[in-house]
Amino acid sequence: MSNNSAIVIGAGIVGLATARALSLRGFDVKVFERSSKAVGASVRNFGMVWPIGQPDGELYERALRSRSIWKEIADRGAFWSDEAGSLHLAYNDEEWRVLQELYGSFKINRPVQLLSANEVVLKTDAVVMNGLKGALHSADELIVDPREAIGALPSYLNEKYDIEFYYDKCVSYISDQTVYVGNDEQYDADIIFICSGADFETLYPEFFKEYPLTKCKLQMMRLAAQPDDWRIGPALCGGLSLIHYNSFKLAPSLPELKAKYESEMSEYLDWGIHVMVSQNGRGELTIGDSHEYDFTHDPFDKTFINQMILDYLKRFAQFKDWNIIETWNGIYPKLTNGDTDLFFTPEAGVYVLNGLGGAGMTLSFGLAEEVVKGL
């Protein structure tokens, strides 16, 4: 008896994770991608698998499950990865108080350390020591190069799970569990998953308008490979990141810190800027980012935003080579009601999985397993 068939639309991280999960449940899977390779938000990020940004409970456990899958695939030689961990750095009393409060909560279930300034230098020599109060170190975070990893996953999934990939196939519409590509190709399946990021608006515009969605544009940069194989160690985060992630909201002093930023750095909050840096296997540094929310974005990068990111980064990081080799922007759909993902059925046998809001690298593998198991 033949397996049930499944089609996944979109070869970004959500689509790849969903294809894997479906195959593990016995489906014969085909993936359709409108471009010759993934070029959307999945390759335009830090490559951070970031459990520390997820609140305790279901989301943190989902992040850990995703991390374990990333590591399993990387350990099989599909792509480079680094169990780098993360450092959140404090340069004023308010930031330091928040980190101490977070450590008090996180230490129960997470591999975290509260470090003095003198202990930070044992982890990295990429941190500005002048004015440093201390840092929160987490061992959970895993780094991949998103371009390399997303580029390598299709071959891995094809070889291991016999998942078929169809590139340069733009799906024009779906009806009665049939996928139509242009005017002359159609493919039937028992189940269809749409995992095409902001592009699902073109297939089901009425549903895109119905749900509380917006689109987020972020700006990022990449610095040159650092000389002499110099490594920064953990991914580094400035204090602004403390008001960005939901997991940090449990710190009682966080409102005071946010008020300080609103008073002293309002222009950073206006553009949704918080600053982080990760390093890939070639030694290049990925830095960013900003967050602009709208349905239609200016396609052009704003130089002043990139300069604000660099200015803030230099407050807490010091590198051997600051030469910028690339700048870019990415756009992803984000839910405005606080939900962390969007999963619904627009018609029989068709499912939309979307709206991970910038946490796709961190949550997709775990989420896909949960969603497919629950069908």
CB neighbour list of residue 300: distance below 8 Å, 6 or more residues apart: none
> Do 206 and 219 fall into the same domain?
no
> Do 198 and 221 fall into the same domain?
no
Question: What pLDDT was estimated at residue 1?
Answer: 40
Instruction: Report whether 202 contacts 34 (CB < 8 A).
Output: no
Mean pLDDT of all residues in 7-20: 97
Question: What pLDDT was estimated at residue 2?
Answer: 59
In a domain? residue 304: yes
In a domain? residue 106: yes
Provide the whole-model pTM: 0.97
In tens, the pLDDT along 100-120 reads 999 999 999 999 999 999 999
Domain that includes residue 196, residue range: 5-43+148-210+339-373
**What DSSP line would sit under 287-302, residue for residue?**
EE---EEESS--SSPP
Question: What pLDDT was estimated at residue 183?
Answer: 81
Question: What pLDDT was estimated at residue 89?
Answer: 98
> Do 330 and 353 fall into the same domain?
no
User: Could you say which DSSP state residue 317 is in?
Assistant: B
Per-residue confidence band for 164, with pLDDT thresholds at 50, 70 and 90 = very high
> Do 343 and 362 fall into the same domain?
yes
Mean pLDDT of all residues in 133-145: 98
> Do 354 and 368 fall into the same domain?
yes
Residue bearing tokens 């359709």: 32
In a domain? residue 117: yes
Number of Cβ within 10 Å of residue 283's Cβ equals: 18
> Do 132 and 242 fall into the same domain?
yes
> Do 321 and 357 fall into the same domain?
no
Question: What pLDDT was estimated at residue 184?
Answer: 86
In tens, the pLDDT along 29-88 reads 999 999 999 999 999 999 999 999 999 999 999 999 999 999 999 999 999 999 999 999
> Do 357 and 344 fall into the same domain?
yes
Question: What pLDDT was estimated at residue 102?
Answer: 98
Question: What pLDDT was estimated at residue 76?
Answer: 97
Query: Residue 370's closest CA among 54, 148, 5, 64?
Result: 64
Percent of the chain with pLDDT over 70: 99
**What DSSP line would sit under 120-140, residue for residue?**
HTTT-S-B--TT--EEEEES-
> Do 225 and 293 fall into the same domain?
yes
In a domain? residue 72: no
Q: What is the CATH number of the domain that holds 225?
A: 3.30.9.10
> Do 134 and 260 fall into the same domain?
yes
> Do 184 and 254 fall into the same domain?
no
**What DSSP line would sit under 236-269, residue for residue?**
EE-GGGGGT-GGGGG-TTHHHHHHHHHHH-HHHH
> Do 223 and 328 fall into the same domain?
yes
Rounded to whole angstroms, the Cα distance separating 158 from 19 reads 10
Q: What is the count of structural domains for the chain? A: 2
Strand partners, 329: 219
Mean pLDDT of all residues in 358-362: 95
Q: What is the CATH number of the domain that holds 162?
A: 3.50.50.60
